[in-house]
Amino acid sequence: YVFCITMRFSFHLLCNSPSPSFPLPPFFPVYCCPKNWKSFSSSCYFFSTDAKSWNSSQENCSRMEAHLVVINSKEEQDFLTQNMAKTAAYFVGLSDPEGHGHWQWVDQTPYNQSATFWHPGEPSHSEERCVIVNHPSTSSKWGWNDIRCKVHYRSVCEMMNFYL
Ligand SMILES: [Ca+2]
């Protein structure tokens, strides 16, 4: 790991090279995430500690050149839950704006039934149009629940990592 600063962000970045060997050869990619973000695969993730509505959460991510997290795989879901507090719940970038069961990811990734992690019995109500990840005390597992969008929860932002 090396710390570095670029023009794009006026704060420290955490950079992770694919190999720990130094010195790095010329043009060797060094992938970076903003400091206080976590790196997984080719993305960077920010786990908020304050609670906001779904819309405010997405706006907050946008201000950081990110979007609410889009979950593409079991591995990504597991990475996320390993970094979440069991006592909290986190908005993700999945919503059903019309309440007709047409679930949409914020980055237009097609909604893929085979990579969903709903709790049993969810999604449950047409007026619950936004999705949280949580670990209910009554459940042994992490999973998704649809919920009213204006209730305040923590959230996770995602951006592509970038290289120097
Ligand atoms: Ca629900």
pLDDT in tens, 29-83: 677 888 899 999 999 999 999 999 999 999 999 999 999 999 999 999 999 999 9
Examine the pLDDT at 1 and tell me if it is beyond 70. Answer: no
Tokens for 42, please give them: 């080719």
147 CA distance to ligand 1 centroid (A)?
A: 5
116 CA distance to ligand 1 centroid (A)?
A: 14
Cβ-contact 84, 144 below 8 angstroms: no
Sequence spans of domains, the chain: 41-159
Which pLDDT band, with edges at 50, 70 and 90, does 128 fall under? very high
Tokens for 39, please give them: 């790196």
- The position carrying tokens 């795989």 is 73
Examine the pLDDT at 14 and tell me if it is beyond 80. Answer: no
148 CA distance to ligand 1 centroid (A)?
A: 8
3-state secondary structure of 78: helix
Tokens for 118, please give them: 């709903």
Cβ-contact 157, 61 below 8 angstroms: yes
Q: Does domain 41-159 have CATH number 3.20.20.140?
A: no
49 CA distance to ligand 1 centroid (A)?
A: 22
